[in-house]
Amino acid sequence: MIELYGKQVMTTLPEIAAPEHSALLVIDMQNDLCSDDGVFAKQGADMTSYHGMIPRLDALIGSAREAGVLIVFVQATTLPGGESRSPAQILFELRMRESYAHPLDEPFDFCIPGTWGHEIVDGLGRGPDDLTVLKHRSSAFQGTNLDLVLRSNGIKTVVATGCTTEGCVDSTIREAGFLDYYPVAARDCVASDNPPLHDAAMVILEAYRAVVVDSGELTGVWAGAGDRAAAETR
């Protein structure tokens, strides 16, 4: 902790990621986006990175739950019939689709509520006390109640995980910082269907946008906090 301008600034990972004021965001880990049979895979997106990342993310979720960290599953959501799509959003999605190896000709519908594609991928256990936020844009804060929920629970730090690194993860991290949260990214628990864009995004995130650490470092902080709390009650 340092003091600047008369304000206390957290600087170390144990301070920043203390479980009592941290939230773990699991962003867009849904079948349409991360599964081999999902809409994005059918466009030619590369799912390889997600296969290895999911077990690590599941372990991190378990660690967070044991430490009492607030867990929020964020789900990309597209309303049927284009009801959640503005003309600008439609153009964005067209450009995104055209970036894949073999874009399909039919409408690019994905993550429709009530469909398999909207559901969280297998391998990530969601607990009964975990929160859910549905979003219609890249950032998990845009047009959602996420900021209200976090502030209502005394959250100061947002730990971002999920997909895609250069898209919804990056957008959420940036807006978290703009809203005066401490942004943290779990390096080995974010992934993309476009490895070069993942690498480019990580360069920027690690430069100054977020505190970027391996999931094992977070697990160590959260387990250590629990050990200290247990020792204090003896």
Alpha helices (H) along the chain: 13-16, 31-34, 39-42, 48-67, 87-98, 146-152, 170-178, 195-204, 215-232
Tokens 């480019």 sit on residue: 200
Q: Which of 163, 168, 170, 189 is catalytic?
A: 168
Q: Which of 111, 135, 156, 170 is catalytic?
A: 135
- Quote the CA–CA distance of 57 and 186 in Å, as a whole number: 9
168: nearest Cα among 56, 33, 66: 33
Q: Which of 28, 32, 170, 193 is catalytic?
A: 28
Token digits of residue 171: 């957008």
CA separation (Å) from 115 to 31, 38, 72, 230?
Answer: 9, 11, 20, 43
Tokens 């957008």 sit on residue: 171
- Identity of the amino acid at 20: E
Token digits of residue 90: 């439609």
Q: Cβ atoms within 10 A of the Cβ of 3, count?
A: 8
Annotation says 28 is catalytic: yes
Cα dihedral 2/3/9/11 (nearest 10)? -10
Annotation says 156 is catalytic: no
The catalytic residue positions are 28, 135, 168
